[in-house]
Amino acid sequence: MSDSLDGWERRLSRVIQVVPYLALGLPALLYVLTVPDTVADKAITVGIVVGAALWMAWWHTLHPQWRGRTGLMTVFFVGVLVFYALLGLRDPIMGFYSFAGYLYAADVLPGRRMVVGVLVNAVLATMALYGGPPPAEPVAIVVFVVVALFFMTIALTFTMLGHITTEQSRRRKEMVAELAAMVEENAGLHAQLLIQAREAGVLDERQRLAGEIHDTLAQGFTGIITQLQAVDTPSRHVETALRLARENLAEARRSVHALRPPALEDANLPDALVEVAGGWTDQTGVPASVATTGAARPLHPEVEVALLRTAQEALSNVAKHARASRVGLTLSYMEDVVTLDVRDDGAGFDTSCGGSGFGLVGMRQRVSRLAGSLVVESEPGGGTAVSASVPAIPAEVVR
């Protein structure tokens, strides 16, 4: 129903733009065809008609942006009244042009100016009907005043009804716009509540896992470190194992306290990837390069952690299975998405027969929790490419 009324309102608005020209042109045509004036008189009248049409076109039709400027529209309306007075005094048939005055007064004049404009237009319509001012006789003056009051009453009544209807329509549209804004705001609040509820659930799960990590992994790494330190003749492999055990013990303790990965403690995500890739190269001897495209910017901690963990897991898979000679990591910042690509030139595998190990499953679950996606491309002898895409949620969105 609302759409139908809006459609009728638009069509009526277009009609209103045409009516003043019809109120000017049709009486002018009747005047030329029926009134027995001289050619010179008709030429003058037609010239005034053309001038009035050009005046309306320039001030109102061709420059709709001027309609909200009260000063300019007052000048425009006074010009319409002047043309109407000239035409109405030349022949009563041109009195039909008064409809243009009423429409323009309601359309472009505010408040009291609209009322004054309608009243003056009604007086001119009465004069056009009489062919000029009334004779200086009491009866003629009384009749003129009565007719003028009748015209003013009718014109003002219908003009005010139109103005009130237009104002109500404008207010209705403002209310609809406000309601739409409220609905959008409520949708944002709803999304924020969902995120907060999710984070509350994540916090509970982290607290549960923290206890398990403290009682299992942390204690286990502590025991491994103790045993390695007791070795009488430590070798390079023992030293490497001792360093790894200490690093993973630190990771476990940070997980217990629900902190960010150490690589992200004092660095942004691109620098953290460089640090992780460098450490991985030191352990495996395989070169790993890191490239960043797009404008790097701080992201929500969960986004950065998910991508960093994905990179660590992908590099771990390369070290275990790929037998690669080089690895490349590319971090791409786009407008709404950030993507991490990890490519190696290793042995590869048939994705239709494998690729369901815990590492890939864990990576896929991690990015899925952020409404992201993980794509794995590989073939035997052709290396492997892992691409993780997640929404680029800014760091300040949720705190």
Task: Write the pLDDT tens digit of every residue in 188-201.
Answer: 566 556 666 666 56
User: For residue 389, is pLDDT > 70?
Assistant: yes
User: For residue 397, is pLDDT > 50?
Assistant: no
- What CA–CA distances, in Å, run from 220 to 16, 241, 245? 85, 14, 9
Could you count the other beta carbons within 10 Å of the beta carbon of residue 138? Answer: 8
Average pLDDT on 132-148 reads 80
Q: Rounded mean pLDDT of the chain? A: 81
pTM of the model: 0.44
Tell me the pLDDT tens digit for each residue of 276-332.
Answer: 999 999 988 999 999 999 999 998 888 898 899 899 989 988 988 888 999 999 999
Contact call for residues 98 and 87 (beta carbons, < 8 A): no
The band of 259, judged by pLDDT with boundaries at 50, 70 and 90, is: very low
Domains present along the chain, CATH in parentheses: 2-181 (no CATH), 263-399 (3.30.565.10)
* Predicted local confidence at residue 25, as pLDDT: 92
* Predicted local confidence at residue 7, as pLDDT: 64
Beta-carbon contacts of 369 under 8 Å, excluding residues fewer than 6 positions away, are: 306
* Predicted local confidence at residue 360, as pLDDT: 81
DSSP string, 45-64: HHHHHHHHHHHHIIIIIS-G
User: For residue 59, is pLDDT > 90?
Assistant: yes
